A and B are shown apart, each in its own frame.
Chain A
Amino acid sequence: MNRSERILMGNEAIGRGLVENDCRIAASYPGTPASEILASVADFAAETGASIHTEWSVNEKAAYEVALAASYTGKRAAVSMKQVGLNVAADPVTRSTYLGTKGGLVLIVADDPGPHSSQTEQDSRLFALFAKLPVLDPSSPREAKDMTGEAFRLSEKYELPVMLRPTTRVCHARQNVACGDPERKDVRSRFERNIPRWVATPAFLPELHRRLNEKLDRIAEEEAFYPRLVSRGGEESRRAVAASGVVFAHAAEILENGGFSGKTDLYQVRLPYPLNRKFIGDLRKRYQEVLVLEETDGVIEMQIGSDFVEGRNTGHVPRLGELTPEIVEKILREFLGVPGEAPSAGQGKGKRPSLCPGCGHRAAFFAIRETFPKGIFPSDIGCYTLGMNFGAVDTCHCMGACISQGAGFYHAFAQDGPGFPSIVVTIGDSTFFHAGIPPLINAVSQGARFIVVILDNGTTAMTGHQPTPALGIRSDGSRGAAVPIPELVRAAGVRFLRECDPYDVERMEGILKEADRYVRSAEGGVAVVIAKHPCIVGREARKGQPAYRMSVTEECIGCKACIEDFECGALVFDPDADRVRIDGTLCIGCAVCVHACPVGAITAEGEDR
C-alpha cells in the first residue's frame, strides 16, 4: 500500500488540490453534487496547517465576489457551486472575464447530467463559452485534483478566471489519489488602484473585451491543451473519437475491450473551451469520420463544426441526458460497426425518497394541509420539497422562487374578487437566506397577501448539514456572528410574525388560522410563521427531545391514512394483521403521527405525554 495515497471522493480530491496549490480563500454555497468541496478544503487546511479562509457564503453570487476580490490582491482563490448556482453567480462571473484577475481564481462548477439532483441538466461549459471563460473537464478524481493546479497556473498566466467543470460521476466517484504537502508561497495581499480595470466603466470595455479575445486566442494555441491521443486505431486510422470528462473514461475502458481495440484513434479533450485551434484543423485534415462524446451539450462538437463531426447536435448521440457507459457502448458499436448488443439497465422503479421519520417538516406540512385543505402551496428547494409526496407542495422552481410565486398567485387571483385562495408558501431557513429576502421585501411592498412558513431546522440538511447564517458557526467550526431570522423578517416590513414548534400540531394550526385572518383583514399583508424544529438527523437534536413509546392499537382499521397522507417511513402496513405497525428501528418516538390517525389508533406512552 502506497502511504501517500488515499481514497478520495472527487470533491475531496478537488479540495485537496486547492489546499496543495496554495489556495488562500475558498467560498461556496452547498448544492449537490458540489457540496463536499468546501468542507474538504476546511478539513485539509486544518490537517496540513495551511492558512485558508473558508466560508459557506450566503449564496453563490456572494461566494464568487468574495473570491474574486481576494484574487485582486494577488492571492489564489477558489469558489465552488453546483451548476444552477452558476446562474445565481452569473452577473459577477460574466464581467470578471473582461476585467480579469490577479492571483489565480478557479471557479469550480459541478454539473449534473441526468439530472440526478438538480432542476436542470445545463452544461456549464456552454456557460463558459458564453462568458468567455476557459474550462477544464476532468475525467476522474485524480485528474480533478491535478487540474486544480493547472487551473491556477493558467489563470495566473492570462489573468483570467478558469472554470473547472466536474460532473456528478467525478464529484461522487472515489479513487486512490496521491497526496502531497501544500506548496506555500506566502503571498502578501496588495491592491493597486487601477480605475480602467477594476471600475471599468463602459468607455473602457471595448479595450478589455479586445484583450479578452486575444487571451482566448492564445489559450486556444497552448500546446499543453492539444487533446491527448490516448489510443490508436492503427497507423492509417481514418476514424477518431474525441471525448471529454467522465464520458472519456467510459469510452477508454470500452475501447480497450475485445472487438473494439484497434478500431479508432481516441483523444481526450481536457480543455473543451477554447478548443485547441490546431486540433480542429488536424481533425479535418486527417480523419474521415469523427465522433464527439461529451456531457451534456455539444460544446466541443460546436467548435469543430457539426458539418464534419457526429455528436449531440447531429443526433448520433442522444441530445439530452447522462451518457452512461452502456449508452456509450451502444454509440461506439454503431460508429465503429462492432456487432453485438450493449446490455441495458434494469427497468424497475426504485423506492422514492421521503422525509426522515420524525422530521419536523412533516409535522409542519401536516398542520398546513389540515388547516387549508384547498390551499395553494408553493415551495422550494431542500429536503422539504419531499412534501410533494403528500400533497403539501404544489410548486418548486429555483432557490427563493416560492415567495415570489406566492405573490404572483395572489395578484392573479385577487383580480377576480375578494375570495382568493389561501396561499401558503414553505421555504427552508438556508434557502430563505440564499434568495428569499428580496422576494419577501417585494411581496410586502407590493401589497401581496399570503402566508410564508419558514421551515427552520437550523441547518442546510439536504446537502449534508452545512451551517446557516442564523447559527453563527463558520465552515471551520469557529464562531461567527449570528444573523437571526425574525429580525430579518421584521426588517422586511412584515407585520405578522409568529414562531412555533411544528411538533405541537394543534398550536401550529391555531397560528395558521390566525395568520389567515390577518392576511384577509383590512390592514393585512404577508404573514410569516417560523416553524422551528431542529433537523433530527443531528444527534444533539435527538437527545434534546422526548422519545415516546409508540404503538398502534387494535383500533386500527387498516385505512392507511397515516401511511398515505403522512408518509412516515416508520409506519408500515402489515398485511397479515391487516393493520399498521411501527417499525421500531426507524421510529424516533416523536409522537406527531398520533394526529394522523383518523380513529385515534396510534398512541404514545412514556415521557410526559
Chain B
Amino acid sequence: MKQQIVISGIGGQGVLFATRVIAEAAMEEGLPVLTSETHGMAMRGGTVISHVKAGPFQSPLIRPGQADVGLFLHGGNLELHRPFIREGGSLFVNRPGPAADGGIDAAKLAADFGHPVIANLVLIGHAVGRGALFCGADTLRAVLRRISPPEQLEINRKGFEIGFGFEG
C-alpha cells in the first residue's frame, strides 16, 4: 500500500493535528510513514500545508501531481495547493454551501456541534467515509482513543463520526 496525502489549511485550523492523526493511522496499519509540516510564523493564521506519505517512501515531500488525496481545510488554498493532486486523485474541501464535488461545510458542522476546532476531524471522517484513505474507520477510532487527551477524546471522536456519517 502506498498513498500520498496533502492537508492544506491556515494556521490555527488544526492541520498539524490532522497530520498526526493520519500518520498514526499509517503506523497502526503497520505502514512506514513520512510527513512534512509547516511550523514557524505561518502558523499565525498564514497558509500551511502538510504532506503525509504512507508506504515505502524516502522523501518527506510530495511532488506536484503526485498526491492521491487532498484534504483542504481552507478552500482559498485550492489555487495554490491543488497542483499537488494527481489526475484522478480525490479532493475533500471544507467550504460553505451545499455539498458537492467533495465539498463539505465542515466548519459549520463542527460549530453546530459546539466545537469549531474539530472541523479537521470532520473532514478526515468524511474522507474515510468515502473510502478515500488508506485506512478504515476502526483504525482512525483506535488512533483517536490512543492520542487524544482524555478531556478531548469524546469531542474528537464525535467530530470524526459527524464527518464519517455525512451524506451530502
Contacts and interface: CB of A to CB of B under 8 A. Distances in A.
Interface of A: 1-2, 5, 7, 9, 32-33, 35, 116-117, 139-140, 169-170, 172-176, 246, 249-250, 252-253, 324-326, 329, 342-356, 383, 385-386, 462-463, 569, 585
Interface in B53-93: 57-65, 74, 76-77, 79-84
B145 interface: no
Interface of B: 10-12, 19-20, 23-24, 26-30, 32-47, 57-65, 74, 76-77, 79-84, 107, 111, 116
A523 B33 CA distance: 65
B10 A249 contact: no
16 contacts: A2-B30, A32-B40, A116-B38, A117-B39, A117-B42, A174-B23, A174-B34, A175-B35, A253-B57, A325-B61, A342-B63, A346-B81, A352-B46, A353-B43, A462-B41, A569-B45
B63 to A, nearest CB: 5
A253 B59 contact: yes
A172 B35 CA distance: 8
Contacts of B77: 348, 350-351
B46 to A, nearest CB: 3
B37 A174 contact: yes
Contacts of B83: 343-346
Contact of A462 (B40, B46, B107): B40
Contacts of A462: 40-41
B84 to A, nearest CB: 8
A329 B10 CA distance: 28
Nearest to B34: A175
B1 to A, nearest CB: 14
Given A33-B40, A174-B20, A353-B11, 9 more contacts: A7-B33, A117-B39, A172-B38, A174-B35, A176-B33, A249-B58, A348-B77, A351-B46, A354-B44
Contacts of A249: 58-60
B38 A253 contact: no
Contact of A329 (B34, B43, B63, B81): B63
Contact of B44 (A175, A246, A356): A356
Contacts of B107: 585
B36 A173 contact: yes
A351 B8 CA distance: 12
A575 to B, nearest CB: 14
Given A140-B60, A176-B33, A355-B44, A348 B79 contact: yes
